[in-house]
Amino acid sequence: MDHDLKRENRVLNDKVRALLRENRLLKGIKGHDVDSLMGMLYRRGMKIFRMNDSDDLLLAPSVPESIRDEFIDRLHHYSFRLFLRDLIRYKNEARVSDLVRYCSPEAASEYLGFLIEAGAVEEFEPGRFRAMQPVRSFGGTLEWYVYRLFRDEFAVPALYGVRFKGTEKSGDYDILADVEGMLLYMEVKSSPPRGIEAHQVSAFLDRVEELIPHAAIFFDDTHLRMKDKLVPIFEEELRLRAERRGSDPPGTIRLMDEIFLFGRRLYLMNSKKSVAGNLRLCLRHLFKDRKRNVSAPA
């Protein structure tokens, strides 16, 4: 009898979790014009299992809109993003002295004051600070920030942290967006180039091949050079794939500064001078490429 009750309990728990997951999906869709984006995914046979998850965000989704807007405004600044990385990295041991690698002690104290007011951080002992939510890394918050850039600044239907059912390739699709009828996939990395390895680039390219987007962007939130490590990794991975297909590898073009194009619609960018500015440059190139295709003679 106990065994039967335990089995029934597990079944009920599984159903509750499924309902909660479905409710989160509906909340993520409600109020935003993502029908066209969902249609693009459906036509590719991609069934969403999870998206727009707030579990690993530094800022709770229930905060007032004014606080959320100020948080986004601060995230525009690279120094604030670096500060948040350190804060999360130190977890329960963060002191002001730990958080001043990229800002002054005065700025660190001001940042902490805002985060405490926003309910994202608490001073649980005098001089010691920690996140209110158990955040694993800055990656989730960075994905959410880029998603909000698409939604708020570019007026583009978008989703973040998307995972699909029954796909051959594992991993999340960090950002998916419908950019004027084109499906865009964007990978978001918060570590510096030295922390990104070939297998991560390969996994990104696997997901590109599976999803078949019109364009893809690999974004590393750093002001360091892409040319030294990441460009060679991309070139080698693309060469190997072309070799297996029996074709020529795509060429590499520097669009501007540390923004690169491989082939026609595969982009690599960092965050210097700004995330939005670099993203805008990639989108502008994408629009020009589409115009060339439309206007080309048959």
277 band by pLDDT with thresholds 50, 70 and 90: very high
20 band by pLDDT with thresholds 50, 70 and 90: very low
Q: Averaged over 239-261, what is the pLDDT? A: 96
- Higher pLDDT: 133 or 19? It is 133
With a cut of 80, say whether residue 28 has pLDDT above it: no
Instruction: Say what angle helices 65-75 and 105-117 make with each other, to 10 degrees.
Output: 150
- Lowest-confidence segment of 9-18, 79-88, 192-201 by average pLDDT: 9-18
Q: Averaged over 116-127, what is the pLDDT? A: 93
- pLDDT number for residue 65: 93
Closest CA to 119 of 79, 67, 76, 73: 67
Domains belonging to the chain, first-starting first, are 65-131 (1.10.10), 139-295 (3.40.1350.10)
pLDDT tens across 49-106, in order?
889 888 889 998 889 999 999 999 999 999 999 999 999 998 868 999 999 999 999 9
With a cut of 90, say whether residue 7 has pLDDT above it: no
Instruction: For residue 44, give the amino acid letter.
Output: R
pLDDT tens across 127-185, in order?
999 999 888 899 999 999 999 999 999 999 999 999 998 877 777 999 999 999 999 99
- Nearby residues of 298 by Cβ (< 8 Å), 6 or more positions away: none
- Lowest-confidence segment of 92-96, 164-168, 212-216, 290-294 by average pLDDT: 290-294
- pLDDT number for residue 162: 95
- pLDDT number for residue 3: 55
Each as own residue / partner, the long-range contacts of residues 164-170 (CB below 8 Å, 24 or more positions apart, any chain) are 164/41, 164/46, 164/47, 164/48, 164/49, 165/47, 165/48, 165/49, 166/47, 167/46, 167/210, 168/210, 169/203, 169/206, 169/207, 169/209, 169/210, 170/203
Report the alpha-carbon distance of residue 128 to residue 107 in Å, rounded: 16
Instruction: For residue 257, give the amino acid letter.
Output: D
